[in-house]
Amino acid sequence: MMMVYLSIIGLILLVTCPVYYCRMTRAYADEVRRLEHQVAQLTVTKEELDFEVAGLVAQEDELNKQKLSLIEVDPSLPTLGSAGGRKYKNPEAYLLSVGTITAEDIQKAQKFKQGSKSPYNLGEILVMMDTISPAELSFAKSKVRD
């Protein structure tokens, strides 16, 4: 009787092991196909993003060229800071942007400085010319430091 049970168990093992093996290999093959498909999708996405990055880099280069040409035309123009707010190169740029002084006022101060060989900066010359008050200059200097 024991021999019958052992032969039945052996027969069951002979049938179930190959079935289990086939199912496992099929599952592994399905997983490999799924992963290969996912890799292909990610490759396409990467190529699209690389193309987009190349376009953005070209656009950034063009904008930097435009920025440099604008700065060459008028060096007193304010620049954009990294925090999102404006950062100004000097107090005169701040005063010009808020409308306290005009470009003509800056030109007059520059002509005066060049003509008189004055050691003072443009902000102090604007104060001496009564274009702005000392308080306005101090406030503009604090805006430049921020």
pLDDT at 65: 83
What are the C-alpha distances in Å from 80 to residues 32, 47, 76, 84, 88? Answer: 50, 32, 13, 7, 8
pLDDT at 75: 64
What are the residue ranges of helices labelled H in 1-146? Answer: 2-73, 91-98, 103-116, 122-128, 134-145
pTM of the predicted structure, to 2 decimals: 0.41
Contact 88, 143 (CB under 8 A): yes
**What are the sequence ranges of the domains in the chain?**
79-145
Residues with Cβ < 8 Å from 88, sequence gap 6 or more?
78, 79, 94, 97, 140, 143, 144
Percent of the chain past pLDDT 90, that is, above it, reads: 25
What are the residue ranges of helices labelled H in 74-90? Answer: none
CB atoms under 10 Å from CB of 40, counted, come to 10
Encode pLDDT of 22-42 as tens digits.
888 888 999 999 999 999 999
Question: Which residues of the chain fall short of a pLDDT of 50?
Answer: 81-84
